[in-house]
Structure 1
């Protein structure tokens, strides 16, 4: 149903499927409830099996358990193990995906028919049962999506067979998702719950969960009928296919190469800004068709533009987003102009003649940075050995949030020998768990870094006498692996990235919400979800925090003060230029989804005002990811995170008691409340007021420019 899994799934769109699924549900509830649900994001696959006493559970080895025999797959875990929050990540076979999903899709359609006949408009009669189904679906989907992903981000064991299998059944998955999001009986039951006598007794979090579901029903087209509904569904199918095509074109058109002299730098620059813009891999028609369909979709739902439709599920309004971007542009432009003058003067002083071209600026800017701050990744790496960085990160988590983190390797199945497993404890009791996959594996693992959930906190799935099922997350990075006795030595940016992903994981793991629909990141608006992650990055520049882990891996020497000061100074280098660049992308995104009308004689590149630049053809965030009319979210969340960190600055970073008190307040609001409370209210609970842009401008050294 709409919303039950979308907030958990927005960061894991277009997932592949897993063998470790709620097969027990097939036996217990196949005639009484839906086998699996999803909305907008995805739909998963259950391995079908029959009762037998011939194949022991591969996890518990069948000791005291009912055993099962798969019809067409590997041995499947017994019901107790299937309900475990720790999947067997190494059990996925690509050849099981297509028959598996088709089998379960047929059963889901049949089960949905029966479910719609007996809905009860109460929390226990509709929300709890559907959370059970949606949660199991999210865990199943997340298992294989973690191993393989089609779009912008994650994949740790990708392979062509798995990609092909997922793409083959994707249209069938979308079809069921659309049917589910447009179920009139489900929508009516939720409306009746909100209008009924039980509404007054529901908590604030429960009411918000229902409101989010009702919103997502409407955005899913539940109010459309006849030809309008058919057209809406056709648009959704085509948009899904276009997103896949866009992403694949970018991947196939990208070539990795390095050029050092000016002529070859120009070649690289032009190749980059014209990626996927010509020949068979040209994304221009894909973009124009995507914008056309999004505009039509918005009109069908009663919105003046796709940007307004996008804002229906955001913290910001369209006007607020535009106003913030214009404020940042005004603050950054003078600084960006000064940046360019400095780079031009530096290049001229070293023999460069004439004005810098686009392909010259980055090259000379890096040379200026090296000259000005005398700092490099190689100079810093020896101070950032991964074991030490983890130790410091865990100390910070204890300092701020009052939790301890302990190694728990061997207590959960893993997908690669390098993967670590950790337990998070509060007051000596388990609170959550997480996996860490830190190293690059180019042959099977995508670049970048991400966090996602394995399972969320929920009272419905409590085990072993606990009041809730404990949340589990995974964090994935791509740093250099250790060599021999030499540990993995991280760049400073990799340190920031690890802290960033831990921020996401903290919101998932330290939630206090017991309703699974709005626990952790679930239910948090897209433009607020980066608050904890960007907040954590600030601590990488805090001297006390750095002293907890920044020491030479051979000598134990702490990061020298001179090097620390240079690191601080380099933090805001060209911040005006970088801010202006991101603001341009965000404004262009909103403009394309507000004002651009395909087929009216104006091209998408006219809107970008640089005819030679085909950057849009590789702008996967808005054409193959989750940021369409939402790229502004990065800057919106930066305002929140900078203002949140400013609370610690106001309290005094050298006042340990104040830091701990402020950290607990952050944990009890931003991290604890999840999607159960509107984000602007959550921020006000923490800060005592609404956010301002002041701290962001100060942190970026843009105050005087403003």
Structure 2
């Protein structure tokens, strides 16, 4: 199979890099481009197999969305009229196939608008994109909100004459979406649901706006050069109001993520670290600006979600969330988190003792480490004990060589060919799916190649895993193709699996090449990567387990949020819970984004991915068996997309149910637990 991949051209296109200065930037996977469409008026003019982003404007995005959303809604109404007049004989030819055709151009324009927005907010301002996004989302949900389509789906599910698991999954998807959209409610219930949803949207907006203001409100100015003596060049440029004069004061610290964590890692002044830490964790609390308090909104969001869940027939919002999760139940998630904690908690205790001993030997004079001390001393310990240095490592990862090694790995594992087509020539063969990966890597300087930090290499592998899942899908309907219809806690699995390959020496040798000498990454540097992966792994995992449990409890219990925090914190964290720490009041991932009662999904996907990768690890050194496992992975996780439940996909690949053992082993926590 020949796979056309033109992402390299996009990666190096400086014009579409975002104007803001940031160290790592962000990555966008664009699976929404979809299949080629016959509409000659499509705004997605193509060259080399990808959209010509340079020729797309806000105006034609708006115009296209305006027409396409109206066409889509009219098409849904037409389907409704047809199946309302007579019984639906074949729901797939009469409903789902027309919906596929209706949605292709809408999804393409929507995805392209999203790419412009995330790639360059000057070309696509937030207000412009959000109007497009909300309009497209409202149109698309009309197919799930249609009573006639819902009745036809339920009728088909009841007659039992379903030809394949793919068809069953599509029917189940529409059934669940219809239920969650209130199609089973009476007229009074629908009015109540609308009221709850309206209130929820209002409270989430208020929460988001206040946290955005609180985040922008804080800044700390550094004028002392000794404080920034270890700061990387990129960080100094990001802090300086005059990037061309970044070696001279002042330097402005903010709470933006790409500023906050690097400063915490490199700042030697404990008082400054405390100042920015307390500013971060007290956002939205009574400790700060009273006009920006979010605790009331937090409780209203919880209450509204609980009301919605009860109205739709669920005991809690967390249980309702499980309708679209691989885990399937809150109790199963809690059991898994508890199992992981058994190894993570004692490891955290030993790690903090070791880190405190290290810090004390280098002048730290306090009785215990606090949360604002950890990033700084963790980095110091990694550098001292493992000789880990980001800037040294990046010299071994030129972008071109990393891509070449990544492509070779995929070609061997999945029996595909990846090549750059320039120019792109249309043939009779139709490209089934297209994907654009957009990265904000440092551009080449003069004659020097673009060099990637190891975190950027990880990001590239991670997002390429998503791309493979999209490009190698073998389903017949886009409703269940690629990443569509995959349960939330399973979406990140393929990305994490690709990340595991970076700790395989053969793969590292294939992607590393010193930009001057051509040498592969030395053995001691590879060992440093392995050591850093395990360093403070117990503490990191405990933090994620705590946030996952906090999220589930906030969406299961009626207790006040602070009481929940006080109850859970000591079970997971070996730090004092300070009075000023009101982190739930700025927990935007679960209150303003889409991770409410789903934050655990990150850990769950990592656990499944580690177990999947362990199948490759078990046969390492045997090329034929590795190829066989690669084929099995392609035929299951990459080919099936959302056409089968991920539990079944996992069983087809692994021959059993998942286990957390592989994740603990990959983090070095199983041996830590046993040793203790």
Mean alpha-carbon deviation: is it higher for 377-386 or for 567-576? 567-576
Choose the corresponding residue for 1:345, options 354, 357, 362. 357
The correspondence for 1:306, drawn from 306, 311, 317, is 317
Report the alpha carbon displacement of residue 679 of structure 1 after superposing the two structures with TM.
0.9
Contact (CA 8 Å) 1:178, 1:233: kept in 2 or not?
A: no
Of 58, 75, 82 in structure 2, the residue corresponding to residue 118 of structure 1 is 82
Q: Is it true that 1:613 corresponds to 2:605 in the alignment?
A: no
**1 or 2 for the larger relative contact order (CA 8 Å, sep ≥6)?**
2
CA distance in 1, matches of 2:139, 2:198: 11
In 2, the alpha carbon distance for the partners of 1:81 and 1:173 equals 20
Secondary structure of residue in 2 paired with 1:578: helix
Assess if the C-alpha contact under 8 Å between 2:64 and 2:109 holds in 1: no
TM-score normalised according to structure 2 size: 0.78
Q: Deviations over 1:176-221 (max 9, x none)?
A: 566553321111111223334xx53522211221112111111111
**Cα pair distance change 1:492/1:99, threshold 3 Å:** closer
* Structure-2 separation of matches of 1:409 and 1:250: 46
Residue 655 of structure 1 corresponds to which residue in structure 2?
622
Q: Structure 1: where are the runs of 5+ without partners?
A: 1-43, 45-58, 68-75, 149-154, 413-462
d(CA) in 1 for partners of 2:115 and 2:500?
28
Q: 2:593 & 2:532 partners in 1: Cα distance?
A: 31
Give 1:189's aligned residue.
152
More helix by percentage: 2
- Alignment match of 2:439 (pick from 454, 477, 501): 477
Matched, 1:567 2:529: yes
RMSD, aligned α-carbons: 3.1
Distance 1:633 1:335, change over 3 A: same
Q: Which residue of 1 aligns with 2:270?
A: 262
Among candidates 79, 98, 114, match of residue 145 of structure 1:
114
Equivalent position of 2:231 in the other structure: none
1:596 to 540, 554, 558: 558
Cα distance per residue 1:469-520 (max 9 Å; x no partner): 5111122333222111111111111111111111111111111212222121
* Preserved contact between residue 503 and residue 535 of structure 1 (Cα < 8 Å): yes
Cα distance change of structure 1 residues 213 and 585 upon mapping to structure 2, 3 Å threshold:
same
Corresponding residue of 2:232: none
- Say which SS state the counterpart of residue 208 (structure 1) adopts: helix
1:388 equivalenced with 2:355 (yes/no) = no
Q: Given that residues 316 and 556 in structure 2 are in contact (C-alpha distance below 8 angstroms), is that contact kept between their aligned partners in structure 1? A: yes
Compared CA separation, residues 567 and 97, structure 1 to 2 (3 A): closer
Q: Verify the 8 A CA contact 1:332 1:579 in the aligned structure 2.
A: yes
Residue number in structure 1 paired with 2:3: none
1:362 aligned partner: 375
Q: Is contact 2:79–2:94 with CA below 8 Å preserved after alignment?
A: no
Report matched runs for 1:219-618 at 5 Å.
219-252=180-213, 253-254=215-216, 255=254, 256=256, 258=263, 259-277=267-285, 278-279=288-289, 280-316=291-327, 317-355=329-367, 356-409=369-422, 411=424, 466=429, 470-597=432-559, 610=577, 611-618=579-586
Match of 1:200, SS? coil
Q: 1:217 to 1:621 in 2, by over 3 A?
A: same
1:475 counterpart SS class: strand
C-alpha separation in 1, matches of 2:417 and 2:39: 37
Moved more, 681-690 or 172-181: 172-181
Q: Which residue of 1 aligns with 2:642?
A: 675
Structure 2 residues not aligned, in runs of 5+? 1-31, 217-253, 570-576
Indicate if the aligned counterparts of 2:469 and 2:494 stay in contact, CA closer than 8 A: yes
1:270-300 per-residue CA deviation (whole Å, 9 max, x = no partner) reads 1221234443444333322221211111111
Say whether the 8 Å CA contact 1:605–1:614 is kept in structure 2. no
Alpha-carbon distance in 2 for matches of 1:66, 1:677: 31
Distance 1:638 1:681 in 2: 18
CA distance, structure 1, for counterparts of residue 175 and residue 427 of structure 2: 34
The separation in 2 between residues aligned to 1:470 and 1:551, in whole angstroms, is 34
Following superposition, the deviation at residue 408 of structure 1 comes to 2.7
| Larger deviation, residues 174-183 vs 495-504 | 174-183
Contact residue 589 and residue 629 of structure 1 kept, 8 A: yes
Paired residue secondary structure (1:522): coil
